[in-house]
Amino acid sequence: MSSVLASLESLAATVAGALPCADDLATLTPEDEARATQVLGGIRSSVVATISLLAADIERKSARELGTEGLAQKRGFKDGVGLVQNLTGVGRDEAVRLVRVGGLLETAQAVAPVHKGDDPPFDAGERSIAALAALPGAWDVPVAVAVRNRWLSAAQGDALRQSLGPPQLTELAPAWRAAALELIGDCWSGQWTPEDLARAAKRVRASLDTLAAVREAEHCKELRSFKRFVRASGMVHYDIELDPESDARFYGPIRTMLSPRLGGPRFRDAAEIARARELDEDPRSNEQLMADTVVDLVECGGQSESNVLLARHRPQVMVALTAADLKKARAAQAVFRAHHAGDHSHCPGAALGLNCAGPDQGIAWIDGSDTPITATDAVRMLCGGGFTPVLFDETGQAIDVGKDQRLFTLRQRRAMAKRDGGCLWPDCPMPPDACEGHHDNPWAESSANHKTETRDGTLFCRRHHLMLHNHGARIERRGSQYWLLWPGRDPVLLHAKSGIRAQLRAQGGTR
């Protein structure tokens, strides 16, 4: 038996004998209980660090290229993670994390080695961003050393490294390192949990590489799904995955209607207070209330020309973006038109040697989501209504809060429905109640366009409304006619599908 193993087994026996039983713990004062938990947490951190180093070495000695000669394979396991899982009794996700943390600790040892009996390169009790910044190596070296020095917990370090992730372009590495250092400092000052740190790192990553964030946002949209199947019990199960924008549209009304039960703001006037009291006293669980609310909303939407259920307290979803990203969204519309017409000379992908994915659209943020959307999507959402824009300058100060009423009113929608007769897109059969109101004068182009007028609005189904914005197309009103201006194509006159328009045209009232 090696001296290391003998020492560990002796330590295990000592710890087992020293740990108090439940009766002993019950005698602790609240202050002693908190301190005991802290002490045990420190012991756990030390043990996890050692296990992580072993886990990383086991994974390396079980590499796939070693085949049947791998350490794990010789013991009948598929990979090193499986062996670690078996030896420690943890779940697979935790075993994977142990391997990752072990890799971080190996990196720290390679850059700033510490040997038993030697003086450490840093005073482990004095946290220092300057000391971390002076370290050589890759962007994640400060994270690795912070974990080794116990300046970050293993969970915090892993969350930061995984959520910030490696830069996709080598020239972004200095910005990544600076971001990692700033996040470490924020974690110290804010006493962040690993979850807090992961969310912050995810937001920073999107802000540092907006092109990658746009690609991820588009990929996120592609993953949306809605599945339905009937269980043997007769209950019907729905499985739904939504991107942040769709979730804001879906969950916003539910949260508004059930706000008092879900921890949201309390209503103020007598009728609202009475409604809140009813919700508090409702014997149904929150899950049952949410299920019933979804059914009610779908039924209401299916039976109404316009949803008036939320007319008084329409869910206000805030969309935040910087002035710079709004400028990108404005510029992107022109680049989109050229891009879809085959001219990629202004697309940033071509300049960076990447596959051309269109212009840099900028990013924006929906309330309650750490996953950004494109700024052009934000502009499109503001066109559709129900979202409130908040514009920020480079210092983080809000410089403009838009109107929360971007929706066409019920009266305006009725007028548009009679005028357009449904989706104005050529050959689209969708009726008016399946359409969205499109603001022909883009909100992002001028403050003069921050108004909702019937004559400057047109009806399109959601699919064609998305196509309009995603391809940089425009609707132009010429007198009483509406023209589709598609990039690289001749203007197309949009013909209304309503009886009244056909009558007026036949009588010479419109062209």
Q: Given the structure tokens 């309390």, which residue do they identify?
A: 266
Encode burial over 68-104: b for 16+ CB neighbours within 10 A, e otherwise. Answer: eebbbbeeebebbbbbbbeeeebeeeebbbbbbbbbb
Q: Given the structure tokens 């090193």, which residue do they identify?
A: 80
**Euclidean distance between CA atoms 7 and 217, whole angstroms:** 51
Strand partners, 476: 483
Residue 205 CB neighbours (<10 A): 19
Residue 242 CB neighbours (<10 A): 17
The mean pLDDT value for 256-265 works out to 70
With 70 as the cut, is the pLDDT of residue 177 above it? Answer: yes
pLDDT value for 310: 47
Helix (H) or strand (E) holding 165: none
> Cα dist. 304→26, 246, 296, 300, 301 in Å?
61, 21, 12, 6, 5
Burial of 344 (0-12, 13-18, 19+ CB in 10 A): middle
With 60 as the cut, is the pLDDT of residue 351 above it? Answer: no
Handedness of CA 367, 369, 370, 371 (dihedral sign): negative
Q: What is the mean pLDDT of the chain?
A: 81
pLDDT value for 496: 79
With 80 as the cut, is the pLDDT of residue 315 above it? Answer: no
Strand partners, 229: 237
With 60 as the cut, is the pLDDT of residue 317 above it? Answer: yes
**Euclidean distance between CA atoms 365 and 384, whole angstroms:** 17
**Is the distance from CB of 101 to CB of 158 less than 8 angstroms?**
yes
More confident residue, 334 or 505: 334
pLDDT value for 223: 93
> Cα dist. 15→8, 40, 97, 143, 374 in Å?
10, 11, 25, 30, 54
Interhelix angle 154-164/30-60, rounded to 10 degrees, is 50
Percent helix, strand, coil in the chain, to 5, is 55, 10, 35
Interhelix angle 499-506/410-420, rounded to 10 degrees, is 50
Residue type, 159: A
pLDDT value for 139: 94
Handedness of CA 317, 320, 325, 327 (dihedral sign): positive
With 70 as the cut, is the pLDDT of residue 427 above it? Answer: yes
> pLDDT tens-digit profile of 452-469?
678 888 998 878 888 888
The mean pLDDT value for 267-275 works out to 68
Q: Give ∠ CA 65-69-72 in degrees, rounded to 5.
A: 90
pLDDT value for 441: 83
Residue type, 284: R
At residue 510, the 3 state secondary structure works out as coil
pLDDT value for 503: 56
pLDDT > 70 in the chain, percent: 78
263's torsion region: left (phi>0), alpha (psi -120 to 50) or beta? left
Contacts of 14 (CB under 8 A, 6+ apart): none
What the block records as the tokens of 24 is: 């002993």
Confidence of residue 312 (pLDDT cuts 50, 70, 90): very low
The mean pLDDT value for 68-80 works out to 93
Strand partners, 482: 477, 494
Q: Give ∠ CA 165-169-172 in degrees, rounded to 5.
A: 75
pLDDT value for 309: 45
> pLDDT tens-digit profile of 87-131?
999 999 999 999 999 999 999 999 988 876 665 555 556 889 999
**Euclidean distance between CA atoms 431 and 459, whole angstroms:** 9
CA dihedral 156, 159, 163, 168 (to 10 degrees): 90
pLDDT value for 80: 94
Q: Give ∠ CA 349-352-355 in degrees, rounded to 5.
A: 40
pLDDT value for 63: 92
DSSP at 345: T
Confidence of residue 51 (pLDDT cuts 50, 70, 90): very high
Backbone angles phi, psi at 380, to 5 degrees: -65, -40
DSSP at 455: G
pLDDT value for 501: 62
Confidence of residue 502 (pLDDT cuts 50, 70, 90): low
Q: Given the structure tokens 């969204």, which residue do they identify?
A: 329
pLDDT value for 259: 74
With 80 as the cut, is the pLDDT of residue 404 above it? Answer: no
- Helix H segments across 89-209? 92-111, 129-133, 141-148, 154-164, 173-190, 194-208
Handedness of CA 400, 245, 223, 437 (dihedral sign): negative
